[in-house]
Structure 1
Amino acid sequence: MPPDEPESPKIGLREKKKRKTRMTLQQQALRLFREQGYHATTIEQIAEASEISPSTFFRYFSTKEALVLEDEYDPVLIRAFQGQPPDLNPIQALRAAVSSGFAMFSQEEKDALRERTDLMLSVPELRAASLIQMNDSLLLIAEIVADRLERPRDDFEVLTFAGAVLGVMMSVQLYCSSNPEADFVATIDEALAQLEAGFPFVRHGSVL
């Protein structure tokens, strides 16, 4: 670790237990979804498979939809973004944060993210819920970028940039869903690189 890079805060035992329970719930839910379908799977079944009570389930996820849409990635990526050197522009810092942030997760966790994304795109109510969630995601991106640039969080250029990044993430989800062989993290980086380059589209050898 470079000397000027802040160390990641240690996770306490309580937080580790909470994270482990959330992962167990998602893992068991995905298994049940594969075996019997999303709609046929109940919260009671997920709780039973995870060896907890239904009431305990709601301490971790407010709904079955939240179990698919929510994860531990945002806080990790935010910390990684905030820890990037100040001389990087926002896209460079974001690309570096994605690379270092996702490196902290196991392949099993990445595979689960991919499966949840595919599920979100294929189940209408999950897709609708994700669209509602996007406004919060846009504001979150705008917030950390504005703080980095020392600009107001409602700065129009910052909001526009956040919208562009969110669009990139949506395109990556759709592309990877249609191309299972594509590496999710590498595709995010490639898409952000295209955004940084200003999308120099080429047709028949000519730049548009």
Structure 2
Amino acid sequence: MSGGTVNLRERQRLLTRRTVQQHALRLFGEQGFDETTVNEVARAAGVSPMTVYRHFPTKEDLVLGDEYDPLIAQRIAERPAGEPLMRRIGATLVEQISELQNDGGNEGESPAELLLARLRLVLATPALRARRWDSQYATQQAIVEALRADPPDPELEFRVRVAAGACLSAASAAVLRWAEEDGRPDLSRLLTQALAIVSEGQC
């Protein structure tokens, strides 16, 4: 199988995933999360319910599911090993957010618009607010696994877990403020400010 075929298939998969999520977020915003069914999302996106479940195993995943964790973890692992952990993780998060803001989106809404729609739903839906912590834990775990030493070093793993947790908590505070202010502030600047508060002990 040629590389071009693989890339075309992956692009189609990502396009289908984004299309389904866009329709889901629109319907959730119009009708409410609890009131909207997966079958309605599938009809709106022009796919089968099985296709929806293949990309998003649960209804909550339609809001919270994304594919950023492996990319973030890989980028953190590729940064210089001698960097302080907070800088290594924090700088990667800022880079990811900057790219997200600058991606205009060739198909439908941009990633930044999708993120804002997702966060609005999270703020308005108690079940999603609770599930969001699971999503943050999964990101933390991906970072820990990417930086895990061989042979295992429990002290290093503990420090990575603490640093990742601190950076992700700062990122969570930044994106929530951004959503509460309707996406008007510069998200990269908010994230940089939040990370500085954590790393410099300004709180």
Please give the TM-score of this superposition, normalised by the length of structure 1. 0.78
User: What displacement does 1:46 show?
Assistant: 0.9
**Bigger proportion of residues as helix:** 2
Quote the residue 2:192 is aligned against.
189
Query: How large is the RMSD of aligned CA atoms in angstroms?
Result: 2.5
How much identity, in percent, do the aligned residues show? 32
Determine if contact 2:72/2:93 at 8 Å carries over to the other structure: yes
1:136-174: per-residue Cα shift (whole Å, max 9, x none)?
3332233334459x8448733332223222321332233
Determine if contact 1:61/1:67 at 8 Å carries over to the other structure: yes
Quote the residue 1:5 is aligned against.
none
Q: Secondary structure at the match of 1:85?
A: coil
Structure 1: unaligned runs, 5 residues or longer:
1-10, 202-208
1:27-81: per-residue Cα shift (whole Å, max 9, x none)?
1112222222222221111111111011111111111111111112222222222
Q: Which 4+ residue blocks in structure 1 deviate beyond 6 angstroms?
A: none
Quote the residue 2:178 is aligned against.
176
Determine if contact 2:76/2:143 at 8 Å carries over to the other structure: no
Stretch deviating more after TM superposition (55-64 or 164-173): 164-173
| Structure 2 Cα separation of the partners of residues 88 and 160 of structure 1 | 16
| Structure 1 Cα separation of the partners of residues 42 and 66 of structure 2 | 18
Quote the residue 1:127 is aligned against.
129
Determine whether 1:25 maps to 2:27: no
Determine whether 1:69 maps to 2:64: yes
Higher RCO structure, 1 or 2 (CA under 8 Å, sep 6+) = 2
1:107-160: per-residue Cα shift (whole Å, max 9, x none)?
411121122022112201111222233433332233334459x84487333322
Equivalent residue runs for 1:37-186 within 5 Å: 37-105=32-100, 106-107=103-104, 108-147=110-149, 151-152=153-154, 155-180=157-182, 181-186=184-189
Determine if contact 1:80/1:101 at 8 Å carries over to the other structure: no
Provide closer, same or farther for how the CA distance between residues 135 and 121 of structure 1 changes in structure 2, counting only shifts above 3 A.
same
1:162-204: per-residue Cα shift (whole Å, max 9, x none)?
32223213322332232222222332222112222222x5xxx
Quote the residue 2:107 is aligned against.
none
The number of equivalent residue pairs is 189
| Structure 2 Cα separation of the partners of residues 29 and 56 of structure 1 | 13
